[in-house]
Structure 1
Amino acid sequence: MKVLSERHQQSILRVCEYIQQHLDDELTAEQLSDIAACSRFHFHRVFMAFMGLSTTRYIQLAKLRRASFRLAFEQHKIIDIALEAGFSSSEAFTRAFKSSFVQTPSQFRNQPNWQHWHRVLQLPSIPREEMILKVKIVDFPATHIAYVQHCGAPQQVLDSAAKFIAWRKQTGLSPIASSETFGIPYSDPNTVAPEDFRMDICGTIKASAIPDNEFGVIAGVIPGGRCAVARHYGSHDTIGNTVYQLYREWLPDSGEELRDFPCFFHWINFIHEVDECELLTDIYLPIK
């Protein structure tokens, strides 16, 4: 029975990933049941049993999730976001968005309630078959950064990210198009109380000083030194899996010792630029 359960889990994972990769395509029950290698007479019940919602609702939430990032971090017109999400009018989009997230698209754009948004989108996590981890060792140069410090629940990190993005746009000191973006978590969100979680959201800068500002952005440096680097593919929500794999599988056999600086992330692209399945994040593990 356990083997059957694992097979079904991987089938549903394939379906979820296929949906994420084809949000702009017509998705039929026949297509999805074929992806799952499951009879169409049973597929919907299997999906519902594992995910707790129908495929139709899952697809709608996936589109609304992407639309949420468009609203929060881009300046596209709401009607354009609505059409991309598959709605025929901004009114229909507004009804569906408010029904799911309490706020209208305009309200979410102006002041997103990320905590409620996370609760709505807190779907079951399906164990993924681990990929073979490819690790390289690099000499990371000392890097001047501007950063905003996030202290509090991981679900509120996007609020801090929004502040940092607003600072970038207002000052032009760390333009998104030509600067690199890093995240430095100083604790593991799975092992500390929400109020004790800290993460710095950083962007590279050329200057070594930052003028006082209303966003709380200050200057800092990511220290240079040797680092082991592994790439995480896909959702930022599962990045911890790759981090643990790096510590569990690579580090014990590497003969390397850790430096006194936390692991950190280099975000290669962003959720408002690409589909979630296409996200790329490099994980740096500082070593001596």
Structure 2
Amino acid sequence: MHRYVQLARMKRASHRLAFTSAESVTAIAMDACYEAPDAFARAFRQRFGQSPSSFRKSPAWGPWLLAFGPLDTARSKRMPRTFTPDDVVIRDVAPTPVAILQHRGDPALLGATLQRFIAWREAAGLHPDTNPTFNIWRSERRPALPSDYSIDLCVGTEKPIDGAGGEVVPGVIPGGRCAVLRVVGDTGNLEPAALYLYRDWLPASGEELRDFPIYCQRLSLFPQVPEHAAVAELFLPLT
């Protein structure tokens, strides 16, 4: 249990290093319950092969993913996700204009794409508290070939986006009927919720899919909140 708690604290600390710039390494170390920055630095280097400051500048995502494999395995065994039809509501959703940064390729490189997305939205003044965050899955979470992995990182905005020559392009999440499933905690892995909607809820519902992929809105974001407090809603578009 102690190792599990340590891993969870270190995961949040590493996310704050990689995806936030306002917090100091010392503040992040203290919040992770280390008595001194040098103790945090030693533990961080031992686990990831980088110092906290080096990770903040240029994270090595491969060792990072390997380090948290035991945490994800333990979580899935200790806290398996279960859903029921009562957890799903059908909602009429309004169209949402968004700015999109596409990630195409190995999911192990998604962290670098997330860094660019967060940096762009900060520069554009599109804060998560005022402009909603969405992910649109264009592929399975674990496709047969990692190169086939595909996801759109989106922020809701009505500002004009000049997509000419840039990574960020304008788009719209279309309105319409959607089956909506809210997930609280560990929203980094929404696969169990998505599989429930596709494999269990949809065949029993009598509903039919619309020609738009499943997507989510992240209502409270890790690492701004601890993983157990993160909230996301999955949207399955229906005819």
Instruction: Kindly tell me the number of residue pairs found equivalent between the two proteins.
Output: 232
Deviation at 1:212, TM superposition (A): 5.0
CA distance in 1, matches of 2:237, 2:81: 26
Question: Structure 1 residue 284: deviation in Å?
Answer: 0.3
Q: Secondary structure of the residue that 2:130 maps to in structure 1?
A: coil
Pick from 63, 75, 94: which aligns with 2:9?
63
For residue 196 of structure 1, report the CA deviation from its aligned partner: 0.5
Answer 1 or 2: which has greater strand percent: 2
Cα distance in structure 2, aligned partners of 1:176 and 1:238: 20
Matched, 1:116 2:67: no
- State whether residues 121 and 127 of structure 2, in contact with CA within 8 Å, keep that contact through their aligned partners in structure 1: yes
Q: Tell me which of 155, 161, 177 is aligned to 2:114.
A: 161
Report the 3-state secondary structure (helix = DSSP H, G, I; strand = E; otherwise coil) of the residue aligned with 1:146.
strand
2: distance between equivalents of 1:280 and 1:129?
A: 14
- Distance in 2 of aligned mates of 1:129 and 1:190: 18
| 2:180 is equivalent to residue 229 of structure 1 | yes
- The equivalent of 1:141 in structure 2 is 94
Deviation above 6 Å: which 4+ runs of structure 1?
A: none
Q: What do you get for the CA RMSD once the two structures are aligned?
A: 1.7
Question: Contact conserved, 1:144 with 1:208, CA < 8 A, in 2?
Answer: no
Alpha-carbon distance between aligned partners in 2 of 1:131 and 1:207, rounded to the nearest angstrom:
37
Distance 1:78 1:103, change over 3 A: same
Residues 101 and 169, structure 2, Cα contact 8 Å, conserved in 1:
yes
Deviation at 1:241, TM superposition (A): 0.4
User: Structure 1: which 5+ runs fail to align?
Assistant: 1-54
Aligned-partner Cα distance in 2 for 1:192–1:222: 27
- Please say if residues 90 and 177 of structure 2, whose CA atoms lie closer than 8 Å, have aligned partners that are also in contact: yes
SS in 2 for 1:128: coil
Change (3 A) 1:96 1:142: same
Kindly indicate whether residue 31 of structure 2 is the aligned counterpart of residue 80 of structure 1.
no
What is the CA–CA distance in structure 2 between the aligned matches of 1:207 and 1:61, rounded to whole Å?
Answer: 39
Q: Kindly provide the amino acid, as one letter, of the partner of residue 157 in structure 2.
A: I
**Comparing 267-276 and 202-211, the one that deviates more:** 202-211
List gaps (5 residues or longer) in structure 2.
none
TM (normalized to structure 1)? 0.76
Tell me which of the two structures has the higher relative contact order, counting C-alpha pairs closer than 8 angstroms and 6 or more residues apart: 2
Matched, 1:182 2:134: yes
Q: Distance in 2 between matches of 1:213 and 1:77?
A: 34
Structure 2 counterpart of 1:240:
191
Bigger CA radius of gyration: 1
Structure-2 separation of matches of 1:196 and 1:253: 30
Could you report, residue by residue, the CA deviation over 1:27-52 in whole angstroms, capped at 9, with x for unpaired residues? xxxxxxxxxxxxxxxxxxxxxxxxxx
TM-score by length of 2: 0.91
Q: Give me the whole-angstrom Cα distance separating, in 2, the residues matched to 1:254 and 1:106.
A: 51
CA drift of 1:129 comes to: 5.3
Instruction: Work out the CA distance in 2 between the residues paired with 1:276 and 1:64.
Output: 12
Query: Residue 272 of structure 1: which of 206, 223, 238 is its match?
Result: 223
Q: Among 129, 150, 174, which residue is 2:103 paired with?
A: 150
Q: Deviations over 1:178-226 (max 9, x none)?
A: 0000000111123331110100000011124336576x11111111111
1:89 to 1:116, Cα distance in 2 relative to 1, 3 A = same
| Secondary structure of the corresponding residue to residue 245 of structure 1 | helix
CA contact (8 A) 1:265 1:282 kept: yes
SS at match of 2:46: helix
Aligned with 1:236: secondary structure? coil
Distance between the aligned counterparts of 1:254 and 1:227, measured in 2?
Answer: 12
CA distance in 1, matches of 2:165, 2:123: 10
> Is contact 2:163-2:170 (8 Å) kept?
no
Query: Which secondary structure does the structure 2 equivalent of 1:238 belong to?
Result: coil
Give deviations 1:9-66, integer Å, cap 9, x for gaps: xxxxxxxxxxxxxxxxxxxxxxxxxxxxxxxxxxxxxxxxxxxxxx333322221111
SS in 2 for 1:268: strand
1:163 maps to amino acid: R
